[in-house]
């Protein structure tokens, strides 16, 4: 009987699909994230590894699993896995793309609204000092209508963010390494601008890009100095795209107006000092944390195991 190891608790649908195929399934149930030591001890006899983004699957883990056929990553990203090394060992690595699109786009818009209307700050005010009473100039925010949103990374998620933002009367411009066709831009109602121009002209900047070697610290001190003093940064892409130490300094010095982060440079840790600022919203990587999205992701990873077990090609292979 083939063995499957889940390095974190996953939706019930995942284990049910695997159990229905009479696979031997073991799930890590310890407190907190699985440690490297525990992972190494668990993979020695397994045929399949299902793992979330928080589990680091490096060469040592791969070498410790001589029977491993598939690493099914529970998430759209896969920078937690040494995919190139896995390929040299003949091990397929898969992800769960597209499933997160709507959920991540909704969270992006939620953060956009929360920043502009100071919703989180207002909640904190009510729980601490309380509400002193309505006054014409009290707790002013900004309306989104007529503002410019710059989206960095314009794949499925970035395009979904654009569509939702346009419903609020927001003008959308975008940048990514590969420009869309003019016909696509007209259809989506967006404008392409060079990266520096997007940074300098946007009222809100939303990072919806995957992590690459090229975009590490794409937003650092120089970019924060180029942003409007009234501008806000939202990162729901990948943490290392933002130099959080530089972001902290920019916020403390009021170089920019505020920020919202759902992903972190040293995840799960947050750069010390950010949590003390009232113009910052911090959420615990909840971009696709919905019952609907996670169930679909769980179905994909389980079905990929079944496909490989039955001698079929896995779907969504990232190291083919």
Look up residue 157 and give its two tokens.
């998620």
Q: Is 267 among the catalytic positions?
A: yes
- Which H or E element spans position 259? strand 258-261
Alpha helices in the chain (DSSP H): 12-20, 36-42, 59-63, 83-88, 101-116, 119-127, 156-166, 182-188, 195-201, 221-226, 244-252, 291-309
Catalytically annotated residue among 238, 265, 294, 309:
238
CA-atom Rg of the chain in angstroms: 22
Q: Point out the catalytic residue in the list 265, 285, 294, 309.
A: 285
- What is the phi/psi pair of residue 216, to 5°? -60, 125
Q: Is 238 a catalytic residue?
A: yes
- What is the Cα–Cα distance from 169 to 189, expressed in whole angstroms? 12
Q: Of how many residues is the chain composed?
A: 320
Give the Cα separation of 2 and 226 in Å (integer): 55
Tokens 């496909």 belong to 307
Cα-Cα end-to-end distance for the chain: 26
Q: Which of 247, 318, 302 lies closest to 280 in space, CA to CA?
A: 247
Secondary structure of 78-121 in HEC code, one letter for each residue: CCCECHHHHHHCCCEEECCCCCCHHHHHHHHHHHHHHHHCCHHH
> How many other C-beta atoms lie within 10 A of the C-beta of residue 228?
17
Find out whether 140 and 115 touch, Cβ atoms under 8 Å: no
Question: Is 14 in contact with 298 (CB distance < 8 Å)?
Answer: yes
Residues annotated as part of the active site: 238, 267, 285
């Amino acid at each position: 009987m083939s063995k499957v190891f889940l390095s974190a608790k996953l939706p019930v649908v995942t284990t049910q699909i695997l159990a229905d195929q009479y696979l031997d399934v073991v799930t890590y149930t310890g407190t907190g994230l699985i440690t490297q030591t525990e992972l190494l001890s668990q993979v020695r006899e397994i045929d399949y590894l299902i793992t979330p983004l928080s589990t680091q699957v490096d060469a040592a883990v791969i070498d410790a699993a001589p029977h491993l056929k598939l690493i099914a990553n529970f998430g759209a990203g896969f920078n937690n896995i040494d995919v190139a090394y896995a390929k040299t060992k003949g091990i397929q690595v898969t992800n769960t793309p597209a499933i997160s699109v709507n959920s991540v786009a909704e969270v992006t818009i939620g953060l956009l609204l929360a920043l502009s209307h100071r919703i989180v700050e207002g909640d904190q005010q009510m729980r601490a000092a309380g509400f002193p009473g309505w006054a014409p100039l009290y707790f002013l925010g900004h309306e989104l209508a007529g503002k410019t949103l710059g989206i960095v990374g314009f794949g499925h998620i970035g395009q979904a963010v654009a569509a939702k933002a346009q419903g609020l009367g927001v003008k959308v411009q975008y940048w990514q390494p590969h420009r869309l066709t003019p016909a696509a831009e007209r259809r989506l109602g967006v404008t392409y601008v060079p990266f520096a121009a997007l940074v300098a002209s946007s009222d809100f900047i939303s990072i919806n890009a995957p992590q690459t070697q090229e975009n590490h610290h794409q937003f650092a001190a120089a970019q924060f100095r180029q942003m409007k003093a009234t501008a806000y940064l939202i990162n729901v892409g990948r943490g290392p795209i933002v130099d959080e130490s530089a972001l902290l300094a920019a916020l403390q010095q009021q170089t920019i107006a505020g920020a919202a982060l759902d992903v972190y440079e040293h995840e799960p840790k947050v750069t010390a000092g950010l949590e003390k600022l009232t113009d910052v919203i911090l959420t615990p990587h909840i971009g696709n944390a919905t019952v609907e999205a996670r169930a679909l992701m769980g179905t994909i990873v389980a079905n990929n195991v079944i496909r490989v077990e039955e001698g079929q090609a896995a779907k969504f292979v990232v190291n083919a």
